[in-house]
Structure 1
Amino acid sequence: MAGVTRPLRVLIVDDDALVRAGLSMMLDGIHGITVVGEAADGAQVPAAADAHAPDVVLMDLRMPNVDGIAATRALRRRPRPPEVIVLTTFDTDENILHALRAGAGGFLLKDTPPAQIVQAVLQVAAGEPILSPRVTRRLMDRVATQAGAYQRARAALAALSPREQDVVLAVARGSANAEIAAELLMSVATVKAHVSSVLAKLGLDNRTQIALLAHDAGLA
């Protein structure tokens, strides 16, 4: 939700009432963030999103009826999708990859310090992905060794213009739009236009998926 100037609207989805209460208490005390609703299961997410129009959703993975992966996928298919941060205790490679492929813009573990969770909400709302440092390297190693991933990624990136490929590399390094603009000597608006073009051409949802594709191709 880059460019949002009103208080960020956060929806918390977790089947543990104590977790929901703790996150709500923590985030509602932060200037510029308001918790607009809670849900105890992925099945409740569509109605909660309709009722509260969140900018960011903090999403648990394992819930009784509809899990966080399915709920994230459904949210990201909406016409104006909120950003999703998966917040879980389960950091297996499969969970991380499934969450990111579903369109999550962040993946954090529940033992992440409160200040870092707050920063993650602000960062993801601004269009910048966030991953728990404990899982980042393992994730990238796993993606890079998937069968056929290298060839598919190379073929996909070959469809981009040289300038778009430059932007992809910068995104994969974790650079923000302003940093990319300075590095490539273009305006921030032009960087945003290139990122939007890359997403459309490659059928991706967000910057995290661009970074994954670059790693698949061995470029970052």
Structure 2
Amino acid sequence: MISLDQHKEALNQAGLEMLQLCNKQLENTREAFFTHDSELAEEVIHTENRVNALDLRIDRDCERFIALHNPVASDLRFALALRKINFDLERVGDHAYGISKYIVELDTPIDKKVLEMMRVEEMFDAALSMLEDITDSYEEVDTKMARKVFKKDKTLNQINMDSFGIISEEVQKDPKLINQFLLLFSVIKKLERIGDLITNIAEEIIFYSEAEVMKHRKKKKVRRSKD
């Protein structure tokens, strides 16, 4: 029977493969979006099957790891964290897939000034930077690197919050732009959600490495700020 350490390392490599695959999906989505490359968008759509297959394999193997080895302490935290990381990465892949479907199905070229106004390129770049940080953090089990994504996520949240007001104002000036703005609004929402998913992954890396539950801390901070 495979040893606990061997099984754990195999799982670790599968998790890294999933991170790299989703990173590539988002990179290709970004390029397809800004170059209006429907063939590259189609590649992202077809690669989603590979993301889904890897998701199922990792989830199954995590269950098998727990059942076979009855892990404790950091080994158990690793398996529990990887299952959640895997789930969040599959959702990142879903959002890359969704944006790519817009490119293929809606075929709506976006005016450059509209893109700049909505800060979509900045949002893509921030999301990709977060994914790169979290990949390095996962590979090195580096919680300092993991914590870097929380600050970057604020950029995505701010652009998302500003987007509705910009759309409302600009569509009144030129109603013909409404389709472009609605498409961008959908893309922005997906990128903002990708940011949330990456911060979830950061929390799981911190949980695995330091046995610290970040979500509970955040809830306490929110309650204290309201008091």
TM-score between the two structures when normalised by the length of structure 2:
0.26
Higher share of residues assigned helix: 2
Higher share of residues assigned strand: 1
Structure with the greater alpha carbon radius of gyration: 2
Higher relative contact order (CA 8 A, sep 6+): 2
